[in-house]
Amino acid sequence: MSTITLESVTAGYGQSLVLHEINLAFDSGFHVILGSNGAGKTTLFRVGVGILPPRAGIVSVLGYEPHRDSEVKRLIGYLPHRPSLSAALSVRDNLEFWGQVLRLPSAQRRSRMDQVISDLELSDLLSKPAASLSRGQAQRVAIARALLGAPQVLFLDEPTTGLDPLAARSLRELLKGLARADKTIIYSTHNLYEAAELADDVTLIAAGRVVDRGSVEALHQRHARAQRVCLTVEGDPRTILSGLGYEAVPDREQWIVDLSDRAERSRIVAALVQAGLPVLEVRELGSPLEAVYEDLESGGQRV
């Protein structure tokens, strides 16, 4: 049985339904959820951690129904979209308090606190009241809190939001290590580079429905049409390319070309070679998920 399963799950707020007939299963590894603002990612996370009961369908995490079995909440680490710390408490007391909520025995609480303080580089912040933290500092404390119980399952809703580039990188490395150590990580982000770097698989959500799921490569194959490439060519390719309907923009020794379709790559390379202009390199620019995302947003292929 998978660590997390959602079967025909429907969920929403008041009169409005947000998630429709969601069927998903996750095992250990890194699972990225992608979708535009309002697509339903945070709602999916709330259902997954048991804060929002589904209207219909079955949610199971580690064999429990999270909205019914409060025990499972101690086995799940959750970073909400807008994490709230206890403003008047220091960073240390926030973590200490959370360790008590999780009912960690005191020796384990101390060792886990030491671990997350080191992992999230919080030692200089421990005596500061949470209210005085910068946004990125508060985010690091909230992530530490989510990791405190060494949970088997992590739901992290845009965790790198507000982190500076080095803190974001060190968090990504930490989480990659956890995914390798058989944890199940459900992760939402709007950063497509980050998503492509981390994901074992990506779930695409639009208007509360799962529209596709797969590895970055598989999604790229299925969805990416337009492609921006960087060509390294011996000579000036502009005349040949303009004959094929493409504009080449010079970029130092290389040329940037926007292709309307991936399949055009081989056509332009063949035309250049035939014209006596050897092509030394064709490199796709940007994240491979960019074109996937564009296709998703333009209401492209649904599966």
Ligand X SMILES: Nc1ncnc2c1ncn2[C@@H]1O[C@H](COP(=O)(O)OP(=O)(O)OP(=O)(O)O)[C@@H](O)[C@H]1O
- Closest separation in Å from C-beta 41 to ligand X: 4
Q: Give burial (CB, 10 Å; 0-12/13-18/19+) of 134.
A: exposed
Instruction: Work out which of 28, 42, 137, 139 binds ligand X, going by CB under 6 A.
Output: 42
Name the strand (E) or helix (H) holding 166: helix 165-180
- Closest separation in Å from C-beta 21 to ligand X: 16
CB of 102 or CB of 202, closer to ligand X: 202
Say which residues have a Cβ less than 8 Å from residue 108's Cβ, sequence separation at least 6.
Answer: none
Number of chain residues interacting with ligand X (CB under 6 A): 11
Instruction: Pick out residues in 15-34 that bind ligand X (CB under 6 A).
Output: 18
- Closest separation in Å from C-beta 215 to ligand X: 22
Residue 39 contacts ligand X per CB under 6 A: yes
Residue 40 contacts ligand X per CB under 6 A: yes
Instruction: Work out which of 38, 63, 235, 243 binds ligand X, going by CB under 6 A.
Output: 38
Q: Are 158 and 191 in contact (CB under 8 A)?
A: no
- Closest separation in Å from C-beta 80 to ligand X: 11
Question: Could you give the count of Cα atoms lying within 13 Å of 177 in the half-sphere of its Cβ?
Answer: 9
The residue assigned the tokens 């308090």 is 97
CB of 56 or CB of 270, closer to ligand X: 56
Residue 41 contacts ligand X per CB under 6 A: yes
- Closest separation in Å from C-beta 42 to ligand X: 3
Give which of 49, 48, 56 is closest to 11, Cα–Cα. 56
Question: Could you give the count of Cα atoms lying within 13 Å of 132 in the half-sphere of its Cβ?
Answer: 9
Instruction: Pick out residues in 162-191 that bind ligand X (CB under 6 A).
Output: none
Q: Are 34 and 202 in contact (CB under 8 A)?
A: yes
CB crowding 241-272: b at 16 or more within 10 Å, else e: beeeebebeeeeebbebebeebebbeebbebb
Give which of 113, 184, 125 is closest to 149, Cα–Cα. 113
CB of 191 or CB of 254, closer to ligand X: 191
Stretches 37-45, 217-225, 232-240, 275-283: which one binds ligand X (CB under 6 A)?
37-45
Which residues are 231's β-sheet partners?
255, 282
Residue 37 contacts ligand X per CB under 6 A: yes
CB of 95 or CB of 198, closer to ligand X: 198
Instruction: Work out which of 4, 32, 34, 43 binds ligand X, going by CB under 6 A.
Output: 43
Taking residues 52 to 81 in sequence order and writing x for each that binds ligand X by CB under 6 A, - otherwise, the string is -----------------------------x
CB of 66 or CB of 99, closer to ligand X: 66
- Closest separation in Å from C-beta 25 to ligand X: 20
CB of 138 or CB of 231, closer to ligand X: 138
Q: DSSP labels for 205-234?
A: EETTEEEEEE-HHHHHHHH---EEEEEEES
Given the rule CB under 6 A, which residues bind ligand X? 13, 18, 35, 37-43, 81
